[in-house]
Chain A
Amino acid sequence: AQSVTQLGSHVSVSEGALVLLRCNYSSSVPPYLFWYVQYPNQGLQLLLKYTSAATLVKGINGFEAEFKKSETSFHLTKPSAHMSDAAEYFCAVSDQDTNAGKSTFGDGTTLTVKP
């Protein structure tokens, strides 16, 4: 079974600082990986995805993630945090064994941005 682990349930950075949110995956096959963001009182929305093309993936709002097979990681980064980035972030892996492609999520990381 595929799984993801997000290291750190809470991350706090200052405005303008680097954002690094960690995600490690476990999969017996090349994975399909996603990062989603959830703002307060909303559903999740896609930030970016990796589907075996380029290992460095760029997403919305200046976020990017790098797929590293040797480290089984897919960490999310942003060079300079904005106050509007405060939200909860979820890493997810998609199951290739079913047509529906059901997704398994990490426990989430809450990002706080200090002024």
Chain B
Amino acid sequence: DVKVTQSSRYLVKRTGEKVFLECVQDMDHENMFWYRQDPGLGLRLIYFSYDVKMKEKGDIPEGYSVSREKKERFSLILESASTNQTSMYLCASRGGTGPTSPLHFGNGTRLTVT
């Protein structure tokens, strides 16, 4: 079974802090994704990566960056946290044949920025 592990379930940070959200998958998947989930808005894609050191912007990349130095790890970085980045963040990975393969999700990190 694929396991996607997000390092923190809950985080509380102050406005202006630099925040790192970590995600590790154990199935050698090429593709990894960061989504944020807000009530009534579903999941919105922030960034994704299709290989080590390769990344592409999703639909809402502003205020975020990512790092993928190793295949199994995909980090989301909030350069200067703001209150409107308070949200649930979900990491996912996908292997196999790309678009026909399902996403495998971590349990999420609930970030509060005060």
On A, residues with C-beta under 8 Å from B are 6, 9, 32, 34, 36, 41-46, 49, 51, 90, 92, 94-96, 98-108
Contact = CB atoms under 8 A, between A and B. Distances in A.
**Interface residue tally on B, bucketed by range:** 20 to 34
Contact of A49 (B92, B100, B105): B100
B64 to A, nearest CB: 15
B100 A94 contact: yes
Interface of B: 4, 30-31, 33, 35, 40-45, 48-50, 56, 58, 90, 92, 94, 98-103, 105-108
Contacts of A105: 35, 42-44
Contacts of A103: 33, 45, 103
Contacts of A106: 42
Q: Which of A6, A49, A108 has the most CB of B within 10 A?
A: A108
Given A41-B107, A43-B105, A44-B105, A100 B40 contact: no
